[in-house]
Structure 1
Amino acid sequence: MRIETVTQELSLKRSVDSGTEQQRAAVQQIIRTVRSDGDAALLAYTRQFDGAELSDMRVTPEEIAEAYQAFPKEMAEVIKEAAGNISLFHQKQLRQTWTYTDQNGTMLGQKMTPLDSAGVYVPGGTAAYPSSVLMNVLPAKVAGVKRIVMVSPPGSDGRLPAGVLVAADIAGVEEIYKVGGAQAVAALAYGTETIEPVDKITGPGNIYVALAKREVFGDVDIDMIAGPSEIVVLADETAYPAEVAADLLSQAEHDPRASSVLVTPSRKLAEETAAEVEKQLKSLPREEIARKAIEDYSAIYVTKDMQEAVSVVNQLAPEHLEIMTEGALSIVENIRHAGAIFIGRFSSEPIGDYFAGPNHVLPTNGTARFSSPLNVDDFMKKSSLIMYSETAFRENADKVAAFARLEGLEAHARAVEARKEQ
C-alpha cells in the first residue's frame, strides 16, 4: 500500500463509472421494451439474463416459509435485532407537520406526508445482502409508506436467497418479485400487468441498474447513483496498526474499485499499517478483489499534523470515516464532509453496516459534500401551508401586486387586487 506525504494536490484516483455508449443504449432499449410489452418482457429478460424460466414472478408465502426453514434460526434472530436497532434510529428522524400563527392572524406551516409507494432493488448473486433489505425498507416503513415493493433477480433455479427473503419478511415487505436488472427498474417506474408503478426507487445494483435509475429519474424519484465503497481512517499514534489495516480491508474486499485510505500525522503508524495490510491480504478469501482495490484506488497519506489531516479528510469527503485518535469525539466538530462517522476504537465500520442502527446507504465519490445517508425524509414529501388573514392581506396586497408587476406578470397583480376591490 503506497505511502505519500501530503502535498497540495492529493493523488488518489476514484472510480467513476457512467457506463459505455453500448450499455446506455442497451438500458434504453430494455426500458422501451418493458414499457411496451410489460410482463412478457420481464419474463423474457429473466430467461435471457438470469437463466430462470418463470411462470409467476411474485414470491409466494410458501417460498417465504421455505426460506425460514433453510435459514439458520440464530441468524434470523440477529436480523430481527438489527431491524429493531435500525427502526429505532430512524424513528428519531421523524418530523411532524408544524404550523405557527403570527400576530396578524396568518397561519403558515409545513405538512409532512409519506410517499404512497416505494420500490427497493436488491442485488442477486454474490451481492445478495440481507442488510441492504433492512436499510432500504425500514426507513420507508418508519416514514409511513403504505406500499413497499421489493425486486431482486432470481437464481437459475427461479428462487431468491433465503437470507434476503427472511430479511424482507422481518422488515414487513408484502410484495416481492423475482425480477432484476434494468428491466426491474423499468417495471417499478412504469408498471406492467403484474407490477404497479411506485413513486421512488432505492437500492444498489450493477451498472445496468444504475443506468436504468438514471434514465427513469424524473418520472420517478431515486435515492442516488452510488459508486464503489470508500473508507477513510483518520488515526494518530494511539491507533493499533492491525485494527486500522483490518478496517481498510473491510471495504477493499467489496469491489476492485473500492477505495481505502489512511490519513495520519504518524509516519510510524503509516509504515506499520502498510505492512499489516500486506500481511492480512494474504489470508483474505477475497484477496484478488481487495488487492486490486488497495493497489489501484487506495493510499496512506502522512500529514504534518492533525489539523492538516482533518483538512485532507474534508477534501476526500468519504462515504465512511473512522476516527481512531486520542480525544476522537473532539475532532468530530471539525469534520464537514463524511457520509457516516465512526468514533473511537470500538466503532469499526461493519458495526454500522449491519447492526448499530444508522443507515448504511451513504453518499460516495465525494458527494458527501452535499448529500446525506438514506433517511426517513427520503420517503416523505413536504407541502407548504399558507392561510393568510384578512388583516395581513390588507397590509400587504399592494406590495405583492407591485412585486408581480416588477416581473411583468399583470395577471398575478390583478389576482391580488380583485380581492382588494371586494
Structure 2
Amino acid sequence: MVEEIRLLTLQNLSADARQKLLLRTESDLGHYLNTAQTIIKAVQEEGDAALVRFGRDFDKAAIEPGTIKVTEEEFARAEAAVPAELVEAIRFATESIRIFHQQQMPERMRMEEMRPGVFCGEKYAPIPSVACYVPRGKGSFPSVLMMTAVPAVVAGVPKVCVLTPAGPDGRVDDATLFAAQEVGVSEVYKCGGAQAVAAVAYGTETVPKVDKIVGPGSPWVVAAKQLLADVIDPGTPAGPSESIVFADSSADGALAALDLIIESEHGPDSSAYLITNSEQVAQAALQAIPGYWEQLGETRRSFSKTVLSGERGGIIIAEDIRSCIDFINDYAPEHLMIHSREPFAHLGSITNAGEILLGEHTPISLGNYVLGPNAVLPTSGAAKLHSPLGVYDYLKATGIGYVTSNAYTTLAKHTHALAVYEGFDGHALAVSELRDTLQQQKG
C-alpha cells in the first residue's frame, strides 16, 4: 500500500513536470463550461421546472415546484432531529465565527484631516442581497452555511438566502437547516450545482434574484459562476478543496501525514501535498498514511487514496527550506499547515496562501469548523490575488471628501493645472476664477 502514495523529489523534476504540480481540477473547465451553459439556458427559460428536473437528474432529489423553498415545518422538524452534541458544536462554531467577523468589521464611517482643511474618508454599507451556496454532493456541510452566512449577517446584508441540494427524500440536511436558524437565515432553497447559480442570477418563480453568490462548489458551480459573472457577482473563487502541509526537519512525519489526510478526503477532485526538506519526515509519513486510511470509511478512504496516488497529491521532498517555501508560494494553496518546532519562523516567508495554520495543535480541521477565521478560501492559485471570505465581501465602500474654504484655493490651483494638461475644459472651468466670482455673488 505504501507504493500507492506518490513520492516526488522536487529538484529532479523538469520545469514542465513542476508546473503540472500546480494544476487543479478547475484549471481546465472546458467540459464543465459547455455543460453549465446548457443548464443555465434551461433555468433562464424554464425557471422552477428546470430546477425540479435537474434536481431529480443530478441529485436524485424528489422535489416539486411547490417544495423548492424550505417551509417552517421543515425547519422545526430539522431542529428536533439534530442530536444535542451537534447542537452544542454548531452553537460553539457559530459563536467563534461571529466573534472573528465582528472584530473584522470596519468603522461604518471614518474621516481624517489629510491636509489642513481637507477631510477624506469612507463609509461602509452592506450589499443588498446575497445567496450562500452550501454543497452536498459528497456529504452534508452545515459548516459551510456558518462560514458563508455568519459574516453576511454581521455585515448587515438585508437579504440573505441559502442554496443547497435536497437529498433523495426531498429534504435538506437537518444540521444545515438548524445552522441556518442559529445564524438567523430563514430563506433556504433546494437547488444545487450550475442550476442554483443560474437561479439566483436570473430569478425563478420561487428563487429570488440576488446580487451576489458566495461559497465553494463543484467544477460545475465554478463554471457557472464564470459564465454568469456579468449577471451576478460570483464572489471569491472557491472550488474543490486543496491543501499543502509543510513539515520541516523538526516535524513529526506521522503527525504531518495525519493532517495531509484532511483535505484529501473531500473528494477525488481535491488536491493535497505534504512538502518537506527531510527524507526522514517523508518516509515516516509514507509509513503512517496506510494505517490512517484503514481508519476511514470506505468513501473517504477511496477519495484520499485517489488524491494521494494521483496527479494532484502526494509527498514532495525538496532540497531545502527555501525550495519548500518557493513551491508553496507558487502553488498558493487554499489551506497551508506548518509543522515545525518553530512554525512562526516560517510565517514571514509565506506570501500566497488562503490560510496559514501554525503548529501541531492547529490542524486544518479546527480551521474548517470552529477556529473563527473563514474557511471559504480562494482555490486554484487565486490566493495570489484574493482573500478569504469575510465581512468585506458583503460590504461596499463609498469615498467621502470635504474641503473648507481656506483649503480650497491650493487644491483648486493644482486641479486646474492637471485638468488643462489633460484637455478637460469643464474640469478646469469648475475650479477657475469663475467659481470664486459665483461664490462671492452668492455671499
TM-score by length of 1: 0.92
Q: Which residue of 1 aligns with 2:10?
A: 6
Deviation at 1:204, TM superposition (A): 1.9
Aligned partner of residue 26 in structure 2, secondary structure: coil
> Are the equivalent residues in 1 in contact too, given 2:9–2:317 (CA < 8 A)?
yes
Residues 41-91 of structure 1: CA distance to partner in whole angstroms, max 9, x if unpaired? Answer: 434443444442422322111101111222212111111111101111111
Identity, % of aligned positions? 37
Corresponding letter in the other structure for 1:5: T
Secondary structure, in 3 states, of the residue corresponding to 1:221? coil
Sort the Cα spacing of 1:346 and 1:61 in 2 relative to 1 into closer, same or farther, 3 A.
Answer: same
Given candidates 393, 396, 399, the residue that maps to 1:384 is 399
For 1:150 and 1:48, the matched residues in 2 are separated by 21
**Letter matched to residue 228 of structure 1:** P
> For residue 189 of structure 2, what is the aligned residue in structure 1?
177
The aligned amino acid for 1:57 is: I
Taking only aligned residues, the RMSD between alpha carbons, in angstroms, comes to: 2.2
Segment of structure 1 superposing worse, 298-307 or 330-339: 298-307
Secondary structure in 1 matching 2:138: helix
Is 1:323 equivalent to 2:341 in the alignment? no
Offset of 1:238 from its aligned partner? Answer: 3.2
Match of 1:46 in 2: 55
Name the residue aligned to 2:198. 186
Gaps of 5+ in 2: 439-443
Offset at residue 387 of structure 1 (A): 1.7
- The Cα offsets for residues 4-51 of structure 1, whole Å up to 9 and x where unpaired, read as 333284362522426665643443343334334433443444344444
Query: 1:214 touches 1:225 (CA, 8 Å); kept in 2?
Result: no
Aligned residues of 1:252 and 1:259 also touching (Cα < 8 A): yes
- State how 1:347-366 maps to structure 2 within 5 Å: 347-366=362-381
Partner of 2:216: 204
Q: Distance in 2 between matches of 1:384 and 1:270?
A: 52
Q: For the Cα contact (< 8 Å) 2:237–2:382, is it kept in 1?
A: no
What is the number of equivalent residue pairs in this alignment? 422
AA in 2 matched with 1:264 = T
Residue in structure 1 matching 2:78, options 44, 55, 67 = 67
User: CA, structure 1 residues 310+206, in 2 after alignment: closer, same or farther (shift >3 Å)?
Assistant: closer
Amino acid at match of 1:74: E
* 3-state SS, counterpart of residue 186 of structure 1: helix
- CA distance in 2: counterparts of 1:27 and 1:205, whole angstroms: 13
> 1:148: which partner in 2?
160
* Kept after mapping to 2: 8 A contact 1:191/1:197: yes
Answer whether contact 1:19 1:211 (CA < 8 A) is retained.
no
Q: Which residue of 2 aligns with 1:91?
A: 102
| Pair 1:287 & 2:296 matched | no
- 1:177-236 alpha-carbon deviations (Å, 9 max, x no partner): 122232221221222333332221011222222222112223321223323322222223
1:68-122 CA deviation, whole Å, 9 max, x = no partner? 2222121111111111011111111110121013454222111111112111111
Q: What residue is the counterpart of 1:234 in the other structure?
A: 246
**TM-score of the aligned structures, taking structure 2 as reference length:** 0.88
The answer on 1:401 being equivalent to 2:416 is yes
| Shift, 1:373, TM fit | 0.9
Which of 154, 157, 162 is the matching residue for 2:169? 157
Structure 1, unaligned stretches of length 5 or more? none
Q: Is the contact made by 2:25 and 2:269 (CA closer than 8 Å) also made in structure 1? A: no
Cα distance in 1 for residues equivalent to 2:237 and 2:114: 42
